[in-house]
Structure 1
Amino acid sequence: MDFRISAQQREMIASVRDLAQTEFKPRAMRWMDGTFPWENMQKLAAIGVLGMSVPEEYGGLGLPILDTALILEEIAKVDYVTAMAVMGEAGVQTRVIARYAPASIRERILPRVVSGDCMLAICMTEPHAGTDVANYRTNARIAGDRVILKGTKTLISRAPEAGMFVVFTRVDGKPGREGIGCVLLEPGTPGFAVTGTYHTMGGENLHEIQFDDCELPLENLVIREDGFRKLLTAFNTQRCLNPAISLGLAEGAFDEAVTYVRDRTVFNRPIADFQGVRWKLADMFKDIEAGRGILYRACLTAAPFPDPFMAAAAKVFCNEMSVRVTSEAVQLHGGFGFTDEYPVSRLYRGARYGSIGGGATETLRDLIGRKIVGDLDPADGILGLGTF
């Protein structure tokens, strides 16, 4: 297995790293009050980053999932809010439009994603249903050549900024998982409203939105049947991109911690001279490298979507690893780590999101466990070798 990064990937990473370190890092605190980082997004659009998941025929780069993860990792090292905004353009919502929307919508929306003129928002969570997708109450009723959308979605990113909403919903009231489909809705549609805002500990705002009999053309019903399976298949991409942000946050906090313990002196010695501190750094480093290995391996299973078992394992490990590493980085900074003057407190707060969004780690642990119990071959043993 060859995990070496190609020359082309290194060049791409270097471009993003330079932009992130020189421009994003100094102003990262600016976005902590919920302000959307339009300035950063336009700079990323200029070098093609927002078109990572857009097919080349629509002006995008059509990059593999590993390349997308590498870029998100680099941005997350310095700026969680911008990394999350970029994931919105590179994640499920873009791939749903590229794979399932009619040509007329793809041609109109995807070039605007590439240019940074159209932010995308995915609408899944409802006030009473997060992981329990089969319990959705939002419904798209088909009425001739129109679709009437009614319901509420909550904890939605980028709602005031979005140029298109990718809404997973029940279709014609059909119960259970079999009734799940997907519609596309543009802001300004009569009956659509952003009705609430929640400020998060990570810095970004999340929103509640209402669909009050929004009337849409039938072509906007982009997934009508088998929507639950299609949703989960596409969502395995998110389960590689979410942990890429977790990995980047851990790396950023680790870098800050190493710099701090080299410079900070206690009892006339740098605190890096103390064995207990060096052991903390060693544990942080091995955690990061283990996360990198499992995540990159999961990304490389994509054809076109990652293996669900490996993606789940990567997400659980990287989400939890990131909280451990960023927490230790705060500890190594002492009292300064608890202040906003040092980046580690901001990175720690961002890390806490990973295990909640994109599939709770409890749910994914159960998925992994069921796969092991059901599919482990008594002769060949470990599942992982068969999924790569």
Structure 2
Amino acid sequence: MDFQISAQQREMVASVRSLAQSEFKPNAMRWMDGTFPWENMKKLADLGVLGMSVPEEYGGLGLPILDTALILEEIAKVDYVTAMAVLGEAGVQTRVIARYAPASIRERILPQVVSGDCILAVCMTEPHAGTDVANYRTNTRIVGDRVILKGTKTLISRAPEAGMFVVFTRVDGKPGREGIGCVLLEAGTPGFSVTGTYHTMGGENLHEIQFDDCELPLENLVIREDGFRKLLTAFNTQRCLNPSISLGLAEGAFDEAVNYVRERTIFNKPISDFQGIRWKLADMFKDIEAGRGLLYRACLTANPFPDPFMAAAAKIFCNEMSLRVTTEAVQVHGGFGFTDEFPVSRFYRGARYGSIGGGASETLRDLIGKKIVGEFDVVDGIMGLGMF
């Protein structure tokens, strides 16, 4: 087993790190009021980063999931809001378009994702149903060579900025999981409106969207059958990219904590001289490295999507690890950690999102538990679960 990233990956990470540290870090507070970081996105587009999940034939980089996770981790070390904006271009919505959309849509939209001219949004959660996909009420009717989309989605990122929406919907009212499909809708379509805004503790805004009999070409119904399985398969990517942001937030908070304990003095000596502080740093370090190992390993199972159980385990651990590390970073800073003048308060607030979005920790624990109960062999043990 090789636990080193390649020279090419190191070069790529170094380029993103240089930009993030020099230009994103000093201005991170600018985006905490819900303003979309267009300025940062343009700079990342110039680096090619926004095309990392776009196939090469459409001008993208077509990077493996591990490379994408490395980039998101680096951005999240300094700016949660920008990292979440980039996740929208690298996550499930781009991969759904690249894998399932007809050539005419791929050729028109994906180059705009690479250039930063088209922001994407994925629409899953409904006011009464988040994880409970089988009870979605948003519905798409097929009428000849057209489809009619009607319903409501909520807690949607980037809705005012997005140029295209990847909407998971019921098809022709078919009940249960078997009735789930996916339709693509462009901003400005008659009947589409953003009807509500929620400002989050992490800094970004989330929105409610209304589809009032939006009429679309039949080709925009990109997933018509077996949509639930395809949704979950694509969504496993999100369960590696979401925790990469959690990992980055933990690392950013750890960096701030180390710098602070070296400089802060009490009783005429730096607080790094106190054993209790050093032990906190040691625990933060081991947690980060355990999360890194689990996440990177989950990313490497992708073919083209990650193993669902490894991705679930990595997401749970990194989400919860990030909360522990950012909490301790605030504690190390004392009262200053509770103020906006010190970055650790931003890292803490951003970390709280991880275990909610992209699959709640409770849901993922149940997913893993079912596999263990159903497939665990007392002779082969954990090795027999096929994750190694």
SS of equivalent residue, structure 1 residue 44? helix
Shift of 1:386: 2.7
The corresponding residue for 1:181 is 181
Q: What code does the residue aligned with 1:207 have?
A: H
Query: How far apart, CA to CA, are the structure 2 residues paired with 1:223 and 1:117?
Result: 25
Q: What code does the residue aligned with 1:9 have?
A: Q
1:201 aligns with 2:210: no
Q: What code does the residue aligned with 1:382 have?
A: I
The corresponding residue for 1:303 is 303
Query: How far apart, CA to CA, are the structure 2 residues paired with 1:41 and 1:173?
Result: 38
Alignment RMSD (CA, Å): 0.7
Shift of 1:384: 7.6
Per-residue deviation, residues 249-285 of structure 1 (Å, max 9, x unmatched): 0000000000000100011110000000000000000
SS of equivalent residue, structure 1 residue 50? helix
Gaps of 5+ in 1: none
The corresponding residue for 2:249 is 249
The corresponding residue for 1:152 is 152
The corresponding residue for 1:279 is 279
- Maintained 8 Å contact 1:372/1:383: no
The corresponding residue for 2:113 is 113
Size of the aligned set, in residue pairs, is 388
Per-residue deviation, residues 325-363 of structure 1 (Å, max 9, x unmatched): 000000000000000000000010000000000000000
1:12 aligns with 2:15: no
| Identity, % of aligned positions | 90
Written as runs of structure 1 = structure 2, the 5 A alignment for 1:206-355 is: 206-355=206-355
Written as runs of structure 1 = structure 2, the 5 A alignment for 1:67-82 is: 67-82=67-82
Shift of 1:378: 2.0
Per-residue deviation, residues 136-174 of structure 1 (Å, max 9, x unmatched): 000000000000000000000000000000000000000
1:60 aligns with 2:34: no
SS of equivalent residue, structure 1 residue 231? helix
Q: What code does the residue aligned with 1:164 have?
A: M
Query: How far apart, CA to CA, are the structure 2 residues paired with 1:346 and 1:356?
Result: 17
SS of equivalent residue, structure 1 residue 387? coil
Query: How far apart, CA to CA, are the structure 1 residues paired with 2:302 and 2:235?
Result: 12
Query: How far apart, CA to CA, are the structure 1 residues paired with 2:3 and 2:82?
Result: 27
SS of equivalent residue, structure 1 residue 225? coil
* Structure 1 residue ranges (4+ consecutive) displaced by more than 2 angstroms after TM superposition: 383-386
The corresponding residue for 1:191 is 191
Query: How far apart, CA to CA, are the structure 2 residues paired with 1:278 and 1:295?
Result: 26
Normalised by the size of structure 1, how large is the TM-score? Answer: 0.99
Q: What code does the residue aligned with 2:248 have?
A: G
Per-residue deviation, residues 274-333 of structure 1 (Å, max 9, x unmatched): 000000000000000000000000000000000000000000000000000000000000
Query: How far apart, CA to CA, are the structure 2 residues paired with 1:307 and 1:230?
Result: 14
The corresponding residue for 2:381 is 381
Shift of 1:379: 1.8
SS of equivalent residue, structure 1 residue 257? helix
- Maintained 8 Å contact 1:310/1:384: no
1:27 aligns with 2:27: yes
Query: How far apart, CA to CA, are the structure 2 residues paired with 1:75 and 1:58?
Result: 24
Query: How far apart, CA to CA, are the structure 2 residues paired with 1:168 and 1:2?
Result: 39
Q: What code does the residue aligned with 2:36 have?
A: F
Shift of 1:240: 0.1
Shift of 1:385: 7.2
Query: How far apart, CA to CA, are the structure 1 residues paired with 2:260 and 2:325?
Result: 15
Per-residue deviation, residues 66-116 of structure 1 (Å, max 9, x unmatched): 000000000000000000000000000000000000000000000000000
Gaps of 5+ in 2: none
- Maintained 8 Å contact 1:256/1:344: yes
Query: How far apart, CA to CA, are the structure 2 residues paired with 1:63 and 1:387?
Result: 23
Q: What code does the residue aligned with 2:212 have?
A: D
- Maintained 8 Å contact 1:167/1:183: yes
1:86 aligns with 2:83: no
SS of equivalent residue, structure 2 residue 32? helix
Query: How far apart, CA to CA, are the structure 2 residues paired with 1:366 and 1:273?
Result: 43
1:344–1:76 distance in 2 versus 1, CA, 3 Å: same
Query: How far apart, CA to CA, are the structure 2 residues paired with 1:183 and 1:299?
Result: 27
